[in-house]
Amino acid sequence: MNRYYNPFRGPHGSAYKLTAMGMVLLLACIIIYGVSHSQKITKEKGSSGPIPVASYTLARQDMNRTISLSGKTVPVSQVDITTKYAGKIAAVRVNLGDTVEPGQVLLLQDVVDATLSLQQGQAALLQATADSRAAESQFYANLKKAEVDYDMAKINYNRYQVLRDEGAVSQRELDTIYQAFIDAQAVLDNLNSQNVGSVPASIAGKYAAQDKADYAVHSLAQQIDDMTLRAPRSGVITYRNAEAGTIVPANTKVLTITDTSGMYVDCALSEEDVAFMQMGTPVTVSIDSLAKTYDGIVTYVSPAMNDADKTYAIRITLQNPDALLRGGMLAEMNMSVLQRKDTLFVPKEALDVQNGTSRAYVIRPDQTVEIRTVQTGLMNDSYIEVTDGLSEGDVIATTNLARLKDGTAVTVD
């Protein structure tokens, strides 16, 4: 027999146990309700005053967009100097880093063989000139003789006609004289019919041979001149692959002249931004490696899209580059471009967009809120244009929008 009495044992022990558990649950519910009701009352008491908000006053002004660009600096000119003809290099007059001026001799190729060919061509030209003059003299001598022979044959024929009529000569003799007259006329006509334009054919052929020899001489002289490589413009020698005594093929790159007196930066612009880009727009170009900025201006905007990357090329020319700038340096630019003149716009965070509808929270003079539906237009990184629903001078809330309703009292921070 158990010495201690247990009220939960025996025939009524289970009922006592259930009753106790029910009382515990009821007590827990009362506590939870009390705590939540107390928090609700505290929250309502805390929210009963005006809601603090930041504000923005609408005013008509120009709406700008900031466009960020990057690219690399490019010298205004970089010219490769190549050999036009194959041959041996006789001398190189410049080294890497040398500054050159237009017309300065950079490299000489050996011209001994070309000079010999030129002398041969000059001799051929003299021969062709002599041949053309001899042909001209011979032709006009033959023409003069043919004219004299024709005149004599004609006179002789006319005389023999008279003699035949008088019976002094026979018809056969007259026919012989007539044949001589016809032969002289044929020779003269043949000479007069050989012209090519206004020049007799025999002389024209000699003139053509003379011109051909003259062209050959000029071509060889030009070749010799082309074998002296000169600077086409001022700049600095930035590439050299030439040594005296080396035999190089035609069209070999031997030198490069880089002109850094001018610099530009080529950038790619998106379709969204190109509509706002104008020629002549001033730009501040930042060169991080130099920790310097330079003034620039937009000098080119491509009229066509690059199909490869769907962008438009623009060129920004630096206006006062200095000796520190070099090609290939990274350049960054932030450009402010005009989107719309004299328009209304608001901060992006000032609009509440729900189901495609934009709403603004207008602060009335009595410091209460009026919710308005607005129509929007252009946008940039920070602002959205408002085309309808708000007017110049309206004050709108920009913070705590989730707590605002029509008629909510606010205080402007």
- State the CATH number of the domain containing residue 86: 2.40.50.100
In a domain, 84, yes or no: yes
Domain identity same for 157 and 125? yes
Classify residue 193 as exposed, middle or buried by CB count within 10 Å of its CB (0-12, 13-18, 19+): exposed
Q: Amino acid letter at 309? A: D
Judge whether residue 385 has pLDDT over 90. Answer: yes
In a domain, 68, yes or no: no
| Tens of pLDDT, residues 113-153 | 999 999 999 999 999 999 999 999 999 999 999 999 999 99
> In the chain, how many domains are there?
4
Domain identity same for 217 and 139? yes
Q: Which residues 6+ apart lie within 8 Å of 365 measured at CB? A: none
pLDDT band at residue 196 under the 50/70/90 scheme: confident
Least confident of 15-29, 51-65, 353-367: 15-29
Domain identity same for 278 and 320? yes
User: Is the pLDDT higher at 20 or at 152?
Assistant: 152
Give the mean model confidence (pLDDT) for residues 164-168: 89
Place of tokens 């044959």: 153
What is the span of the domain harbouring residue 104?
A: 80-109+228-256
Which residues are paired to 301 by β-bridges? 314
**How many C-beta atoms lie closer than 10 Å to residue 139's C-beta?**
18
pLDDT band at residue 18 under the 50/70/90 scheme: low
Domain identity same for 405 and 270? no
Domain identity same for 159 and 203? yes
In a domain, 328, yes or no: yes
Identify the domain boundary among 339, 361, 396: 339
Domain identity same for 122 and 215? yes
Alpha carbon 276 to its chain's center:
18
Q: Determine what percent of the chain is predicted with pLDDT higher than 70.
A: 91
* The pair of three-digit structure tokens given for residue 188, joined into one six-digit string: 């003269």
CATH of the domain at 347: 2.40.420.20
Domain identity same for 89 and 238? yes
Handedness of CA 277, 278, 282, 288 (dihedral sign): positive
Domain identity same for 86 and 139? no
Domain identity same for 151 and 290? no
**How many C-beta atoms lie closer than 10 Å to residue 349's C-beta?**
14
In a domain, 22, yes or no: no
What pLDDT shows up at residue 16? 58
CATH of the domain at 282: 2.40.30.170
Least Cα distance to 410 among 352, 351, 369 occurs for 369
Domain identity same for 315 and 346? no
pLDDT band at residue 21 under the 50/70/90 scheme: confident
pTM score: 0.59
pLDDT band at residue 1 under the 50/70/90 scheme: very low
In a domain, 15, yes or no: no
Domain identity same for 189 and 333? no
Looking from the CA of 191 toward its CB, the CA atoms found within 13 Å total 18
- With beta carbons less than 8 A apart as the criterion, state whether 363 and 346 touch: no
Place of tokens 């007590």: 27
In a domain, 100, yes or no: yes
Identify the domain boundary among 224, 248, 277: 224
- With beta carbons less than 8 A apart as the criterion, state whether 98 and 286 touch: no
Classify residue 335 as exposed, middle or buried by CB count within 10 Å of its CB (0-12, 13-18, 19+): buried
| Tens of pLDDT, residues 242-288 | 999 999 999 999 999 999 889 999 999 998 888 888 899 889 999 99
Handedness of CA 94, 96, 102, 107 (dihedral sign): positive
Query: How does DSSP assign 127-180, residue by residue?
Result: HHHHHHHHHHHHHHHHHHHHHHHHHHHHHHHHHHHHHHHHTSS-HHHHHHHHHH
pLDDT band at residue 226 under the 50/70/90 scheme: very high
- With beta carbons less than 8 A apart as the criterion, state whether 195 and 189 touch: no
In a domain, 137, yes or no: yes
Length of the chain: 413
Domain identity same for 196 and 292? no
In a domain, 321, yes or no: yes
Long-range Cβ contacts of 368-371 (<8 Å, 24+ apart):
368/407, 368/408, 368/409, 368/410, 369/397, 369/404, 369/405, 369/406, 369/407, 369/408, 369/409, 369/410, 370/406, 370/407, 371/404, 371/405, 371/406
